[in-house]
Structure 1
């Protein structure tokens, strides 16, 4: 996989799943328009529905509730709806940026990346899945998308002349992603926050418009 190890060291995937989401969620006045019926956000001509966002949030909460570390995982992901919508928007923008750069990611590359990541966990798929859930709020059904985006961002950084995972590479990728988002047009339903064009994230809203399940930690003895 381009850029070295994954999960235990935040490499190129930080652009897609960590660094942008960890940035300050300060609200800005730009990049957010009127609400679209049934949409949490619209990227170009692609709609991210409220139902899709809710489904993604529910999947993560359900997985967290079944984990032995349920209380910890749920407690440390209080901004899950905001982060999830940011990631859904970013994935679409990244796909466009990578395509515009003449780059692509094959299924074989995703499979190879998966195999390499598993080596870090002695081939134990369950440990790998637990690490992704803990560090990035990724559920098993989202692993291929996660890996594909990781590879894509790594290729984008390399195409810009930087080493994946480097600060300069991350900054360069954020700049390209932000420019692509501006070109596409990102319209976030104000109920879910505001699109911060500079950081390429969805800023927080004070209203819990996305229902966050209050999950009960699983009983390990059950």
Structure 2
């Protein structure tokens, strides 16, 4: 379980303080939070993902004080969520290039194993929500991401913490041409990770009634 959670954390956490290697982001794609391989991730899609997490947190901790604490612990949720959405596409491209595929049976086996180790379906959903900011309805997507990463690393003869693995993702990032809206930072091609842009006066826009993040 520890190894799998380590992988999930690796792929879910935004990497801070990384060197800025690419000046991405412009006004050529209005309404887009990011463009990956010519395909837009819209601001609306990003907000939907963030709202899913907030709604799940609200349902999990109905007490107002606990809910505020949960929000405080995930104050960079919008940026981290965009990181995951972009990384998902980058990883999928790298896996495709390497001939790596994931089928439904493999995902079911992985989920069943994790459910046994955490104490059941609800316990697994709660763990992924609390630790990685993954809403229950996105759990299977995230598990596919983790499994794809594990299989790609295995094919490369390494693991997801090895520089060789991230070099492969770096190439996929370059091939796709990741372009972030500067509101959400920039994309570090070398690390395949979102980094903060040096524009502290820019504020994120979220849907009405949602918590604004920084």
TM-score (norm 2): 0.86
Whole-Å Cα distance in 1 between the matches of residues 168 and 186 of structure 2?
20
- The answer on whether the counterparts of 2:33 and 2:46 sit within 8 Å (CA) in structure 1 is yes
1:165-185 deviation digits (Å, cap 9, x = unpaired): 5x32xx322221111101110
Segments of structure 1 that go 5 or more residues without pairing to the other structure are: 216-222
- The answer on whether the counterparts of 1:25 and 1:203 sit within 8 Å (CA) in structure 2 is yes
The Cα shift of 1:29 comes to 5.5
Q: Structure 1 residue aligned with 2:91, among 91, 94, 104?
A: 94
Which residue pairs with 2:185 in the alignment? 193
Whole-Å Cα distance in 2 between the matches of residues 126 and 81 of structure 1?
24
CA distance 1:186–1:153, change in 2 (3 Å): same
User: Is 2:44 aligned against 1:47?
Assistant: no
Q: Secondary structure of the equivalent of 1:120? A: helix
CA distance 1:214–1:15, change in 2 (3 Å): closer
Q: Structure 1 residue aligned with 2:54, among 61, 64, 82?
A: 61
User: Is 2:75 aligned against 1:82?
Assistant: no
- The answer on whether the counterparts of 1:12 and 1:150 sit within 8 Å (CA) in structure 2 is yes
The Cα shift of 1:85 comes to 0.6
Whole-Å Cα distance in 1 between the matches of residues 177 and 148 of structure 2?
21
Which residue pairs with 1:33 in the alignment? 25
- The answer on whether the counterparts of 1:15 and 1:173 sit within 8 Å (CA) in structure 2 is no
The Cα shift of 1:70 comes to 2.3
Whole-Å Cα distance in 2 between the matches of residues 134 and 161 of structure 1?
31
Q: Secondary structure of the equivalent of 2:118? A: coil
Which residue pairs with 1:16 in the alignment? 11
Which residue pairs with 1:175 in the alignment? 167
The Cα shift of 1:197 comes to 1.6
CA distance 1:157–1:9, change in 2 (3 Å): closer
CA distance 1:29–1:116, change in 2 (3 Å): closer
1:96-148 deviation digits (Å, cap 9, x = unpaired): 0000000100011111111100001232x221111000111011110111110
User: Is 2:201 aligned against 1:204?
Assistant: no
- The answer on whether the counterparts of 1:27 and 1:204 sit within 8 Å (CA) in structure 2 is no
Q: Secondary structure of the equivalent of 1:11? A: helix
Q: Secondary structure of the equivalent of 2:129? A: helix
Normalized per residue, the structure richer in helix is 2
- The answer on whether the counterparts of 2:185 and 2:195 sit within 8 Å (CA) in structure 1 is yes
Which residue pairs with 1:218 in the alignment? none
Which residue pairs with 1:184 in the alignment? 176
Q: Secondary structure of the equivalent of 1:178? A: helix
- The answer on whether the counterparts of 2:24 and 2:180 sit within 8 Å (CA) in structure 1 is yes
The Cα shift of 1:27 comes to 6.5
Whole-Å Cα distance in 1 between the matches of residues 9 and 156 of structure 2?
17
